[in-house]
Structure 1
Amino acid sequence: MIASDAEMEELDRERSLKQKKKQQEQELRETFMSRKVAPEAIDRINNAVRIAAQNGQHHLQVITFPSTFCSDGGRRINIADAEWPSTLTGFAKDAFDFYEKELRPLGYKLRAEIISFPGGMPGDVALSLTW
């Protein structure tokens, strides 16, 4: 009976951790989907680009997010499909729209790539400005 009680406690702990993780992921997703680019973003980006360029870099990673936040799970980004921007949702879409309106006319380019492959599947996406 003692072993059975210990097993039940362990199962309850695992169930609780799973539930907590699921809740955190849901909160992260909701925040990501409702977040917008801040009005002072252009100043912050210019400052970050200036520092990166002074250090001899030619790109700056500006946002990362789970590929599950893309409408296709990151597949188009993974295969470098020209239509990858159409799969962006939430904050990533808002950031892309900001890039199109404010940064592309200044000569910046935007690169998207899958930066992790947990279990062989697309994990996180990174959007980077290049110059």
Structure 2
Amino acid sequence: MPGLLRPEDLKMISLDAETEEYNRERDLKKKKAQQDKELREAFMSRKVAEKALAIDRVNNAIRIAAQNGQHHLQVITFPSSYCSDGGRRINIADPEWPTTLTGFAKDAYEFYDTELRPLGYKLRAEIISFPGGMPGEVAMSLTW
């Protein structure tokens, strides 16, 4: 029959539990960092679809939005950290905010600028979240 647990045994049990929790949190942080890295790489390498396909997608999306009484369509969201300035120019509505775009956002803006702006569409960018008081997510919306 085993004896009663000693205080030293309890300290070891607590230490083992703390170590396990620390290792679990560390592994979770590493996994999240890897996922964030993969998402960023995908965003940076992604391109707007072939022009004809992109036009079909845009037409379908804005048609549905208009049928639902909308006058704008959120077309892309991404972390403000993907902007070269962390989203600061978007946050202050600086007219030069498009120069801070990178990756897919830059490609999408160029598609807007060459294909949609001449038709009278406008593109609005805004910070839609402020975790810890800092710019978080950026949303770009097409308006008509």
Normalising by structure 1, what TM-score?
0.98
Give the AA of the match of 1:36: K
Aligned to 1:78: 91
| Matched pairs, number | 131
Post-superposition offset of 1:54: 1.3
Unaligned runs of at least 5 residues, structure 2 = 1-11
In structure 1, C-alpha distance between the alignment counterparts of 2:85 and 2:37, rounded to whole Å: 18
Post-superposition offset of 1:106: 1.2
In structure 2, C-alpha distance between the alignment counterparts of 1:56 and 1:100, rounded to whole Å: 25
Two-structure CA RMSD over aligned residues (Å) = 0.5
In structure 2, C-alpha distance between the alignment counterparts of 1:55 and 1:24, rounded to whole Å: 35
Unaligned runs of at least 5 residues, structure 1 = none
The structure with the largest alpha-carbon Rg is: 2
In structure 1, C-alpha distance between the alignment counterparts of 2:58 and 2:116, rounded to whole Å: 10
Spell out, residue by residue over 1:26-62, the C-alpha distance to the aligned partner (whole angstroms, 9 max, x if none): 0000000000001111111111101111111100000
Post-superposition offset of 1:105: 1.1
Pairing partner for 1:34 from 31, 36, 45 = 45
% same residue: 81
Normalising by structure 2, what TM-score?
0.90
In structure 1, C-alpha distance between the alignment counterparts of 2:27 and 2:68, rounded to whole Å: 46
